[in-house]
A = this chain, B = another copy of it.
Amino acid sequence: MIERRETRAVFKGRVQVGGGAPVSVQSMTNTHTEDIAATVEQIVELTELGCQIIRVAVPTLDAAKAIGSIRGRIDLPLVADIHFDHRLALESIRHGADGVRINPGNLSSPEAVAEVVRAAKDAGISIRVGVNSGSVRERKGLEVARHDGDLAELMVRSAREHCEMIESLGFRDIVVSLKASDVPTTLAANRAFAEQTDYPLHLGVTEAGTADVGTVKSAVGIGALLAEGIGDTIRVSLTGRPHEEVRVGHAILRALGLERAGIEIVSCPTCGRCEIDLAGLVEQVRDKLPEQADRPLTVAVMGCVVNGPGEAAEADVGIAGGKGVGFLFRDGKKLRKVPEEQLADALVREIEAMSADDEGISR
């Protein structure tokens, strides 16, 4: 239902951001990155909660060097968060980071930025240009920050200048974020930037605060933009452990229908053609299904073979009943004929088999 803004596709490892890819949920570890065991443990926990891209702080060369070991032990694309010293970015890239996040405005010089861009290009990874209201405010002096509109405009101008400079080096794999600590400025900056460019946008509200207030602030800020079609990847910033960030991130996407939760059963309205007990069949299936699917699944339970196969074909898996007999579908293909009384069981077994297949691929 949401018509999403068209953006260029950029990759963080194997995760596509922009270009029509699903909105991804990311988070950032709050461990010392040098503590490889603790960092890996947290990333694994976040992965299980549905985190799709992970960022780690890289304030030291030791942190940058840890990236190689961490990356080998996790399943997520890993982004290095860099401030002030571009050599930390170079070292992170050397150790296998899937992306770097920089704020070109706080690196030492345009030459330093150019060095990072060349390294990212050689490594085939992407760069996030992260502009925060705080850094713009600092650079331009407090007096400009008295009006939200001005601040948003300065953030947009700053981001655009950075992007133009990086593109002038022949580098296009850029994701941009424009984060302010207040929602109206965040909205204004992202709306304006979205109108002017085709860069994928990473959404977030900085300093959103503790879980209670921060959840609302992030849901409002990120949600309002997503509802307007703006945003390609999101990070909810909350004070405390990052786990809640991932949960809230997915809740935002689900609220807007940008992500489906677990198993969704679709079934047709019964009509004169229906020759099976459809309501009973739906109930049987619902009872037998596991609470949580390993991935979002649309399960179709259709009443007849007239519209049923069409609808079932749109779903991931489904059954279409007939006269005492039905068909099992998966990924749009008819698998086999099943007696009516075995339809529910056949469907549930197929769903279980799909989960098992997934595990074989991803673990």
Write 10 A-B pairs (CB below 8 A) sorted by A numbering. Answer: A1-B184, A1-B188, A2-B184, A141-B269, A182-B255, A213-B254, A216-B248, A220-B224, A220-B256, A221-B255
Q: Does A136 contact B (CB under 8 A)?
A: no
Interface positions of A (Cβ within 8 A of B): 1-2, 141-143, 146, 148-149, 182-184, 187-188, 212-213, 215-217, 219-221, 223-224, 226-228, 247-248, 251-252, 254-257, 268-269
> What residue in chain B is nearest A258 (Cβ atoms)?
B184
- Taken together as a complex, chains A and B put the C-alpha atoms of A213 and B269 apart, in Å, by 28
Contacts of A220 on B, CB cut-off 8 Å? 219-220, 223-224, 226-227, 252, 255-256
A132 smallest CB distance to B (angstroms): 18
Which of A141, A148, A217, A247 gathers most chain B CB within 10 Å?
Answer: A217
**Copy total for this chain:** 2
- B255–A216 contact, CB under 8 A? yes
- Taken together as a complex, chains A and B put the C-alpha atoms of A254 and B181 apart, in Å, by 12
Contacts of A226 on B, CB cut-off 8 Å? 220
Contacts of A2 on B, CB cut-off 8 Å? 184
The 8 closest A-B pairs by CB, nearest first: A220-B223, A219-B219, A142-B269, A224-B227, A216-B251, A1-B184, A220-B255, A224-B224
Contacts of A146 on B, CB cut-off 8 Å? 269
Contacts of A215 on B, CB cut-off 8 Å? 215-216, 219
- B221–A224 contact, CB under 8 A? no
- A183–B255 contact, CB under 8 A? yes
Contacts of A219 on B, CB cut-off 8 Å? 215-216, 219-220, 223
Contacts of A247 on B, CB cut-off 8 Å? 212
> What residue in chain B is nearest A217 (Cβ atoms)?
B255
Contacts of A182 on B, CB cut-off 8 Å? 255, 257
Contacts of A224 on B, CB cut-off 8 Å? 220, 223-224, 227-228
Given contacts A1-B148, A215-B215, A223-B223, contact A184 B251 (CB under 8 A): no
Contacts of A142 on B, CB cut-off 8 Å? 268-269
Given contacts A148-B1, A269-B142, contact A257 B184 (CB under 8 A): yes
Which of A183, A248, A268 gathers most chain B CB within 10 Å?
Answer: A183
